[in-house]
Amino acid sequence: MEGKIVYFEKPGVDNTEEVFRIAKSRAKELGIDKIVVSSTRGDTAVKAVEFFKGMKVIVVSYVTGMKERDIQPFTEENRRKVESGGAVIVTAAHAFAGVSRAIRQKFDTITIVEIIAQTLRNFGQGMKVVCEISLMAADAGQVRTDEEIIVLGGTGRGVDTAVVLQPVDSQRFFDLRIKEILCKPRL
């Protein structure tokens, strides 16, 4: 089998529309109807809901207090737009952070989970994100582990990475399978 990977010159939000186009095209080819997308404030999520109309969109955001205590960056306005568009929002602790991050901060040390996250970042921040949010979506019961999905993640704002993967819940992380890399920044 031959496939195509699109490489972007730079990471970031400027790649979002092209990532959407690439993901939708490959989803149609493979008969995949679930798109999982990362979104911090909800801007990317709102765009994804519109672009992937007719498909199941699962948006993964992170917990209140992640960047600033008691602050949830996913705006209420974007939450209403995303949910009224039929998408599901999973708000959860990062699969590669949570208590591990607390240990790092408290004891000034590194944990195994952070080594895994950093290793994935060797392929780009977006590659770490797609793996992580697929775990979070599976843990929340929003994706099945017996079907392939397309997952979109990014570096900072927007999305710049798309993969086809076989999701697993976080306790089975080492069974996660990235089947295809559709696009990513060339770092």
What pLDDT digit, counting tens, does each position of 114-136 carry?
A: 999 999 999 999 999 999 999 99
Q: Is residue 1 part of a domain?
A: no
- Closest by CA position to 23, among listed 154, 155, 172: 154
Q: Going by C-beta distance under 8 Å and a sequence separation of 6 or more, which residues neighbour residue 171?
A: none
**What's the pTM value of the predicted model, to 2 decimals?**
0.94
Longest Cα–Cα distance of the chain, Å, equals 49
Q: Is residue 37 part of a domain?
A: yes
pLDDT at 47: 98
Q: What is the CATH number of the domain that holds 150?
A: 3.40.1380.20
pLDDT at 103: 86
Average per-residue pLDDT in the chain?
95
pLDDT at 62: 87
CA 83 to chain centre: 18
Number of domains in the chain: 1
- Alpha carbon distance 37, 101 (integer Å): 23
Q: Is residue 28 part of a domain?
A: yes
Q: Is residue 178 part of a domain?
A: yes
- Closest by CA position to 72, among listed 56, 88, 61, 84: 61
Q: Is residue 60 part of a domain?
A: yes
Q: Is residue 149 part of a domain?
A: yes
- Alpha carbon distance 43, 74 (integer Å): 8
* Structural domain boundaries, residue 159: 6-185
Residues of the chain with confidence (pLDDT) below 70: none
Torsion of CA 82, 85, 88, 93, to 10 degrees: -10
Q: Is residue 56 part of a domain?
A: yes
